[in-house]
Structure 1
């Protein structure tokens, strides 16, 4: 497995075109792998995520079984002249194995995850359930908390003295966990786009980014989470969790 990072040159029109459509960006990411054909539906999972740290600081992260060739991304949305130096081709790729091998039960890490937190609900009795986005911070946090055990980790809790709200606070008729966990939910985006060459209805997604601290409980499950993703809409930039040492930034 490999982890790659590509800095997007947001001043370029090609970059703005890619950033405006998750479908275009997904196609560009998949074009980084010459051995993968568009018709190959059994190709290994490739995960990607955009980190928009500032208006002119946007990074594309990719986790993939094969090493990518992002030359076309550099030409469309990078700094082609600077990339002529073979030492700095415009992106960085490292083996993911050293980090995956370091994972052990009890290890604590900072994490970042962009996800599409959804649930299935019906508006009326007798109607089929429909996939629906969680819209409140409380339900978005709960979505991740409900998946943490199976995904191989637990999100660390704050010391009681550091909590601004007590656990058990009522929210919409349900018990709320207050600010019990070392986790924030930010950067909500309502994504709405039409697939090119498609007559189907537009794709509508709600995405959010989670930052926080976790402890590994099941290293094998954690490795699967990091390499296979978490949740829905993986083709559209959701599901990729990355780790950093707990004292650093996720």
Structure 2
């Protein structure tokens, strides 16, 4: 895997959906490729946004909209009992039946996602996500500014309410934790959620 520092300027930096599209363009064209990167928006203003991106492939193609400032390999080596600092900006949600009574294609009640807003529910959510991989020793939860986005092709607007989880964890299952790092945690990964960053304390 690779960790990269990217800066995106212009109108794209104010729309998470456009940030995602700009990051795609950093990789060589591959019609068969699925999205194989995660990202988190760091410092941002109206003109530019600094992005931390984790990717399976090495980004190669800078553009005027997205500049690669730095890139390094990210070897992940974990051991049972290892204590690590972590940071995660995620979109904790639960599934409920659609209030309008709509049905899916199989005739079952359609499900929709609703954000978890109470801190105790958010804490339970992250504990469930990590339960097979790590145990939490310390956890601080903070709200993040809502992410508002527009999908121009569908002329659709939306809002995501991310939450920042930070603290210290202890590794229980290295392979399971490595998989969470590679694939991310929770929904809205295309909008800058789900990247689990680990560091030595």
Name the residue aligned to 1:94: 72
Name the residue aligned to 2:65: 76
Q: Residue 234 in 1 paired to residue 193 in 2?
A: no
Task: Name the structure with the higher helix share.
Answer: 1
Report the RMSD for the aligned CA atoms in angstroms.
Answer: 2.7
Structure 1: runs of 5 or more not aligned: 9-13, 79-89, 157-181
Name the residue aligned to 1:50: 41
Cα displacement string for residues 169-205 of structure 1 (whole angstroms, at most 9, x for unaligned residues): xxxxxxxxxxxxx111224222232201214x42221
If you compute each CA radius of gyration, which structure gives the higher value, 1 or 2?
Answer: 1
Q: Displaced runs of 4+ in structure 1, greater than 4 A?
A: 53-58, 123-127
| 1:25 Cα deviation from its structure 2 partner | 0.2
Q: Secondary structure at the match of 1:202?
A: strand
Structure 2: runs of 5 or more not aligned: 103-108
The question of whether the paired residues in 1 share the 8 Å contact of 2:10 and 2:65 is answered with: no
Q: Residue 207 in 1 paired to residue 162 in 2?
A: yes
Give TM-score, length-normalised by structure 1.
0.69
Task: Say if 1:55 and 1:212 are closer, same or farther in 2 by CA, change over 3 A.
Answer: farther
Cα displacement string for residues 120-172 of structure 1 (whole angstroms, at most 9, x for unaligned residues): 1247696733210111222222210111113x11111xxxxxxxxxxxxxxxx
Cα displacement string for residues 196-220 of structure 1 (whole angstroms, at most 9, x for unaligned residues): 1214x42221111111111111110
Name the residue aligned to 1:22: 16
Which residues of 2 match residues 167-246 of structure 1 at below 5 A?
182-199=138-155, 201-246=156-201
| 1:36 Cα deviation from its structure 2 partner | 3.1
Name the residue aligned to 2:106: none
Hey, what's the Cα distance between the residues in 1 that align with 2:44 and 2:26? 24
Number of aligned positions between the proteins: 194
The question of whether the paired residues in 2 share the 8 Å contact of 1:44 and 1:65 is answered with: no
The question of whether the paired residues in 2 share the 8 Å contact of 1:115 and 1:230 is answered with: yes
Q: Residue 135 in 1 paired to residue 121 in 2?
A: no
